[in-house]
Amino acid sequence: MALNRAMIFLGPPGAGKGTQANRAAKRYGVPHLSTGDMLREAVAQGTELGRSAKPLMERGELVPDNIVMGMVEERLARPDSAQGFIFDGFPRTVPQAEQLDKILARRGFGKPLVVEFHVSPETLLHRVSGRWTCSVGGETYNIYERPPKVPGICDVDGGKLIQRSDDSPDIVRERLAAYDRKTKPLADYYRQHGVLETVDGSKGVEEVSRELNEIFARAAGRDGHL
Ligand SMILES: [Zn+2]
């Protein structure tokens, strides 16, 4: 089943959109694109973009558009993006959305299908503050919802679990505030374009997956492909 479209999952960190983007990407055989992953890759590799972004990321601030849009345009030019892709948490602002629309048009895609994940601030802080990452293999755990068998130790490879610097509670709060300030108008932008759907990200993973599959099916019915 070909996706042949640009999908965008919106929502604050911890809303479950990453998990769902990962599942949907596997289901349709398209890349799951997160600017966070692209940036961390650039920081780890020490590229010019990565060196510019690193201090901003450590302070939990948003990275400027010239860096982000440059990475996005390069990424969408790769062959694996030709049949569609799923953006996880991008765009974050209306100007980014406008620029993305132009990039999509240049690459022969129509309007994106946008899904907004709704979830309460209390749920978000609880989820994100419980997240620990394996220092060896990168596996993620949640001490409330999906704890490791031995506290502080990865089930898979015995690696020490750490909290990423951008998952600390202060940075989470700052990130949520930045999210509220800058990205809520996005929903209005996409609603005006008639492409916005919403799901309740407080529900369980399987239930949200089912809702998403219904949304995809409705969209496919509307424009004759998925
Ligand atoms: Zn591990």
Q: How far is the CA of 39 from the centre of ligand 1 (A)?
A: 21
Domain that holds residue 98: 6-120+181-223
Q: How far is the CA of 11 from the centre of ligand 1 (A)?
A: 27
For residue 33, the domain's CATH number is 3.40.50.300
Domain-located, residue 139: no
The model's pLDDT over 107-144, given as tens digits with 9 standing for 90+, comes to 999 899 999 998 877 777 778 778 899 999 888 898 88
Domain-located, residue 126: no
DSSP codes joined into one string, 51-62: HHHHHHHHTTPP
Can you give the pTM of this predicted structure?
0.74
Would you call 33 exposed, middle or buried from its count of C-beta atoms within 10 A (0-12, 13-18, 19+)? Answer: buried
Domain-located, residue 156: no
Domain-located, residue 155: no
Statement: residue 226 has pLDDT above 60: no
Domain-located, residue 188: yes
CA distance 170 to 166: 9
Domain-located, residue 1: no
Q: How far is the CA of 12 from the centre of ligand 1 (A)?
A: 26
Domain-located, residue 55: yes
Which residues are annotated as catalytic? 17, 92, 131, 164, 175
Statement: residue 66 has pLDDT above 60: yes
Q: How many domains does the chain have?
A: 1
Average pLDDT score over residue span 95-105: 95
Domain-located, residue 135: no
Beta pairing, strands 131-134 & 161-162: antiparallel
Helix axes 169-192, 94-106, angle to 10 degrees: 60
